[in-house]
Amino acid sequence: MKNELIEKAYAIAKERYAAVGVDTDAALEQLRNIPISLHCWQADDVTGFENRGGDLTGGIQATGNYPGKARNIDELRADILKARSYIPGTHRLNLHEIYGEFGDEQVDRDQVEPRHFAGWIAWAKEHGLKLDFNSTSFSHPKSGDLSLSNPDPAIRRFWIEHTKRCRAIAEEMGKAQGDPCIMNVWVHDGSKDQTVNRMEYRRLLKESLDEIFATKYDHMKDCIESKVFGIGLESYTVGSNDFYIGYGASRGKIVTLDTGHFHPTESVADKLSSLLLFTPEVMLHVSRPVRWDSDHVTIMNDETLDLMKEIVRCGALDKVHIGLDYFDASINRIGAYVIGTRATQKCLLQALLEPLAKLREYEAAGKGFERLALLEEAKSLPWNAVWDKFCAECGVPVGEAYIAEIQQYERDVTSKRG
């Protein structure tokens, strides 16, 4: 799209929004400073670079067999940089522990060290990215159905040590980048069929987490993530939402809300205001569940839009961290990154452009008709002209122009991967 058309459309949009009390320039400046944490595992279907290899286990799976996935660290990094070139703003990169640089060294997960991520730290600094991190409890001979809640002391000790070491790695990442590394703990622990030991497994998980978090760090922040169920673990999840809300509120930990980890009719947006009253911060993993936690690519749907609006309405842009968590192996993986991140940003922009002051004025005066009317009219305000302006200012393709460029990258690069 030509720059003069973008500028003309933006000028009209700016005037239209001003009429309802919204400063579009201020909204763009805010959006520019809200990072999305890109998940490294979209580029290779959660394979990682651990020397053991093998299939995904632990209640998760990636579906599809689209050609051209990243096969090594160099390809993964190239794909991430290519995706970022089509995404406006400044963003972060979220790593799982299995993406360390192990080379030919046999490194089990209870032996991982910061040195295995020194290359990532240097690469991220070179490219202006800040890192977040995750422990990895799945796809390992000792994963089974239970890790941190395993009644076997040896198995439990293995995963406690792994998670402790991941926290130490996150601390080094945060120290190197001068900004806290957000370290997420999610374990798949659960049961395929009925259990009569719910309390015992949760007691063990609580004790394991207490030991893991006993060491205090200054350059990383801890998150704990729940789930409803996993594939093969449908009947019982040890780390449920209730468990982690209780743990997070009592221990001052960040609770992670994954939009795919709840029942289909639950509103994740509704949970934010409650959590923010009792936990220091909230971490979001944004995906798109279809009937179950299927981790489809995020799109600009009502659920994501409601979630972003609630962050802004709560005045919590400084307390809510936003990351992506989907792994669609059925479409072009670079395209999946771009669609999902831009969709999340579009929802954020619409949230920032909401005429909130006027809406609250109506609500405070008990003017329900006026509030609902403005909420409806705001849906058709020209936010897309503001979005185009944002993309143009950030030097990334406006509108659908990125499609052809990603197709070219596929022809030139990813299609040649065996």
**Which residue numbers are catalytic?**
186, 225, 227, 258, 261, 285, 293, 295, 325
Residue located via tokens 């299609």: 415
CA 411, 412, 417, 418: dihedral to nearest 10 degrees? Answer: 60
Q: Are 191 and 235 in contact (CB under 8 A)?
A: yes
Contact 222, 236 (CB under 8 A): no
* 167-203 burial code (b ≥16 CB/10 A, e <16): bbbbbbbbbbbeebbbbbbbbbbbbeeeeeeeeebbe
Pairing of strands 36-39, 320-324: parallel
Tokens 């221990």 -> residue: 251
What contacts 186, CB < 8 A, 6 or more positions away?
Answer: 134, 135, 137, 224, 225, 227, 239, 256
- Nearest Cα to Cα of residue 36 among 167, 130, 115, 150: 130
Give CA–CA dist 123/168, Å, rounded: 19
The residue type at 221: K
Distances (CA, A) of 152 to 141, 148, 201, 252: 14, 10, 11, 28
d(CA 225, CA 187): 8
CA-based Rg of the chain, rounded to a whole angstrom?
22
